[in-house]
């Protein structure tokens, strides 16, 4: 559902308080800062990242003990840690875009910061409430992780191992999404509304004042 809010309405200081203006250039530092916080969101992220890493490590040990040659191991590790994650980028961002559309956004754009190696999807000056933002942030992690787990279970041999590696690599690609949710967590369950200004390359976050 759309918020039915316009960015101009968020300037009403009696109802909304600006709590963060985040420049896209500051996103890497923001991600490191909020992923280091101790809360339910970060515990979930690190727990599942380590779990996915464990799924990849176990067959790695088996492959190295059974096969003395390293060429095939290096090849399939390259698939899992580089090729497949790169191929997943448009799917990951496409899921974000789909959930923006489901929330009612129209002016959606995809961007990239190749210096800091991250991609993003924005809806220009489209306010999003906390519930919709949470769905938007978590959707790629949930959907793609489920597909990769199924693929790793269905395919045989080294390719299965590649998918387990990709599962871990994709979890790290979701770090920005979880950092955003970690930022939200510090305000408990209070309503937060956010929108992006593509021209400014900045995201605005407003806290709705309690009545």
Q: Which two tokens stand for residue 50?
A: 């380590």
Beta bridge partners of 128: 194
| Chain segment 59-86, per-residue pLDDT in tens | 665 666 666 567 778 888 899 999 999 9
**H or E segment and range at residue 208:** strand 202-208
pLDDT given at position 2: 44
pLDDT given at position 23: 94
pLDDT(50) > 50: yes
pLDDT given at position 1: 42
pLDDT(93) > 60: yes
Output the CA–CA distances (angstroms, integers) from residue 141 to 43, 138, 175, in the order listed: 15, 5, 10
| Chain segment 187-211, per-residue pLDDT in tens | 999 999 999 999 999 999 999 987 6
Structural domain spans, the chain: 19-208
Q: pTM for this one?
A: 0.89
pLDDT(99) > 70: yes
**How would residue 175 be classed by pLDDT, with cut points 50, 70 and 90?**
very high
pLDDT given at position 4: 73
pLDDT given at position 60: 62
Four-point Cα dihedral 52, 55, 59, 61, nearest 10: 80
DSSP character string of 55-84: HHHHHHHHHHHH----HHHHHHHHIIIIIH
Tell me the mean pLDDT in the region 151-180.
Answer: 92
Q: 35-62 burial string, b = 16+ CB within 10 Å, else e?
A: beeeeebbeebeebbeebbebbeebeee
Distance CA 138, CA 110 (A): 18
Question: What does the mean pLDDT of the chain come to?
Answer: 89
End-to-end CA gap in the chain: 23
Distance CA 185, CA 41 (A): 7
Distance CA 70, CA 37 (A): 39
pLDDT given at position 75: 87
């Amino acid at each position: 559902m759309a918020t039915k809010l316009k960015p101009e309405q968020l300037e009403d200081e009696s109802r909304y308080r600006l709590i963060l203006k985040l420049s896209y250039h500051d996103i890497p530092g923001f991600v490191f800062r909020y992923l280091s916080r101790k809360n339910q969101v970060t515990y979930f992220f690190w727990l599942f990242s380590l779990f996915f890493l464990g799924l990849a490590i176990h067959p790695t040990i088996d492959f190295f003990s059974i096969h003395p040659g390293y060429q095939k191991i290096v090849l399939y590790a390259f698939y899992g840690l580089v090729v497949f994650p790169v191929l997943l980028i448009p799917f990951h961002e496409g899921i974000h875009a789909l959930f923006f559309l489901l929330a009612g956004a129209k002016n959606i754009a995809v961007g990239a910061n190749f210096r800091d190696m991250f991609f993003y999807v924005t809806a220009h000056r489209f306010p999003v409430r906390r519930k919709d933002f949470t769905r938007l942030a978590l959707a790629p992690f949930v959907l793609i992780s489920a597909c990769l787990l199924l693929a790793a279970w269905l395919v045989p041999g080294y390719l299965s191992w590649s998918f387990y590696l990709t599962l871990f690599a994709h979890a790290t690609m979701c770090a920005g999404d979880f950092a955003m949710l970690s930022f939200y967590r510090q305000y408990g369950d209070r309503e937060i509304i956010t929108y992006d200004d593509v021209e400014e390359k900045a995201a605005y976050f407003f806290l709705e004042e309690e009545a």
